[in-house]
Chains A and B, each alone.
Chain A
């Protein structure tokens, strides 16, 4: 998949989450996503970036615009070196949270995007890789 454009942002505090949202919105607009899709992608970015901050103790986000035979996609990568997720299936379940949230963020983000993969090693960190195609 040829990468057209790639940007990385740190996630260290709440205003970095806002910066990630703004970057994702700009890239989604440039990639030609319609308003509903833009909102879906930005919302997913907001959930995942906040997870990186709240549960991963901060990390970084990479936003890429991809092109593949006739279609355009937006890929987002969230990486942290936090405690990791012991049970990914459980973490994806709606209503399950180890914090004080609604427990819908991770599962919601998966429904908002086309493809969402989580790699996590307890004690080493978490990597969430997700794409939405236009």
Chain B
């Protein structure tokens, strides 16, 4: 950007800083960007004042966009968009906060215009600059959100495979959600690994939390059961709800070689019997 076009802006930021800040805050309070429920007006004013200082320094420095004063401005924008996102502002509200400085700057540039012929170029330079800054706040918010989504996906991959020990020699794998192939692979491997580690004789796969059992899911289950059997462990599939049972029959999937139970409790009882344990009620008097 040629310095001649932003020199007027630099002048305004230097001489009319107080006026711009005041008008900006008034617009803020009147406009839709104000969220007194999320941030007190004093804090908004604080951010606005710092932003104006950094903007004045950057515009007045005469440096290119890679200069240290511009970097300081960008860092500040990143920090306010992160903190505002944490406080509950939407990306639109944060961008609107930055964009709303345009009106006061516009007015002041108009008042101070020495050469009316230059005014359009000066206004245009100011507008593109502020747009750029507002876009940066949005970019920072989006980046933060992308990182969060990536982290959650990783967490979900781990969350989806909690192999739990129910009893000596009895493992349970409560499956939840969509069994797409990538996740099911992880689930299958972690179950087989735990069977080796614990020397379990029975593994219960509970599908209560799986909304749809189609042929692909059924195939994954059959493969897991077969692999576990090769390692010397019996598998019981539990959590077969009536509608799932009906669907499996219509699909023609053959689960007759697999032990299945309606509930995890039934499967656990069967597993205890298989491992030679007996369940009994104690006398009431022995209870604490």
Flag if A111 contacts B250 (CB, 8 Å): yes
Q: In whole angstroms, what is the CA distance A102 to B242 when docked?
A: 22
Q: Contact between A108 and B243 (Cβ–Cβ < 8 Å)?
A: no
CA distance A107 to B216 in the complex (A): 14
Of the A-B pairs whose beta carbons lie under 8 Å apart in the complex, a sample of 14, sorted by A's number, is A14-B180, A14-B181, A21-B211, A39-B212, A40-B246, A47-B251, A102-B219, A104-B215, A105-B214, A108-B250, A108-B252, A111-B250, A111-B252, A112-B250
Is A126 on the interface with B (CB-CB < 8 A)?
A: no
Closest residue on chain B to residue A47 by CB atoms: B214
CB contacts (< 8 Å) of B213 on chain A: these are 43
Nearest-neighbour CB distance to chain B for A44, whole angstroms, equals: 8
- In the complex, whether A116 has a CB less than 8 A from a CB of chain B is no
Determine if A40 and B250 form an interchain contact, defined as CB atoms under 8 angstroms apart: yes
Near B by CB (< 8 A), chain A positions 1-50 give 14-15, 18, 21, 25, 35-36, 38-40, 42-43, 46-47, 50
Report if B72 contacts A (CB, 8 A).
no
Interface size bracket, B side:
20 to 34
Do A18 and B180 have beta carbons less than 8 Å apart? yes
With A14-B180, A101-B215, A104-B215: A39-B243 Cβ-Cβ less than 8 Å? yes
**Interface residues in chain A, defined as those with a beta carbon under 8 Å from any beta carbon in chain B:** 14-15, 18, 21, 25, 35-36, 38-40, 42-43, 46-47, 50, 94, 101-102, 104-105, 107-108, 111-112
A35 near B215 with CB under 8 A, answer no
Q: Which of A14, A15, A36, A94 has the most CB of B within 10 A?
A: A36
- Taking CB atoms, residues of chain B closer than 8 Å to A38 are 243
Shortest distance from the beta carbon of B210 to any chain A beta carbon, whole Å: 11
Candidate in A43, A50, A102 with the most chain B CB atoms within 10 angstroms:
A43
B139 at the interface (CB under 8 A from A): no
Taking CB atoms and an 8 Å cut-off, the chain B residues in 220-269 that contact chain A are: 242-244, 246-247, 250-253
Are A101 and B216 in contact, with the CB atoms below 8 A?
yes
Chain A contact residues: helix, strand, loop or mixed:
helix
Residue B218 interfacial (CB < 8 Å)? yes
Q: Is the CB of B216 within 8 A of A42?
A: no
Whether the pair B218, A35 counts as a contact (CB closer than 8 A) is no
Complex contact A42–B212 (CB within 8 A)? yes
Q: Which residue of B lies closest to A106 (CB)?
A: B215
Is there an interface contact between B216 and A104, defined as CB atoms closer than 8 Å?
A: no
A-B pairs with CB below 8 Å: how many?
66
One of B180, B214, B219 near A43 (C-beta < 8 A):
B214
- Contact in complex: A112, B252 (CB < 8 Å): no
Partner of B242, one of A21, A36, A43, A112: A36
With an 8 A cutoff between CB atoms, is B178 at the interface? Answer: yes
- Chain B residue numbers with a CB within 8 Å of A112 are 247, 250-251
Shortest CB–CB separation between residue B207 and chain A, in angstroms? Answer: 13
A18 to B251, CA, bound (A): 19
Q: Are B246 and A36 in touch, CB under 8 angstroms?
A: yes
* Complex CA distance for A18 and B216, rounded to whole angstroms: 13
Interfacial chain A residues near B219, Cβ < 8 Å? 101-102
Are A18 and B178 closer than 8 Å at their CB atoms? yes
A39, B240: Cα distance in complex, Å:
13
Do the beta carbons of A108 and B216 come within 8 Å of each other?
A: no
In the bound complex, what is the Cα–Cα distance between A47 and B250 (angstroms)?
A: 13
Besides the known contacts A39-B243, A50-B216, A111-B250, 10 further A-B residue pairs in the complex with CB atoms under 8 A apart = A14-B180, A14-B181, A39-B244, A40-B247, A43-B214, A104-B253, A105-B215, A108-B215, A108-B252, A112-B250
| Across the A-B interface, the 10 shortest Cβ-Cβ residue pairs | A108-B251, A39-B243, A46-B214, A36-B243, A111-B250, A104-B215, A43-B247, A102-B215, A105-B215, A104-B252
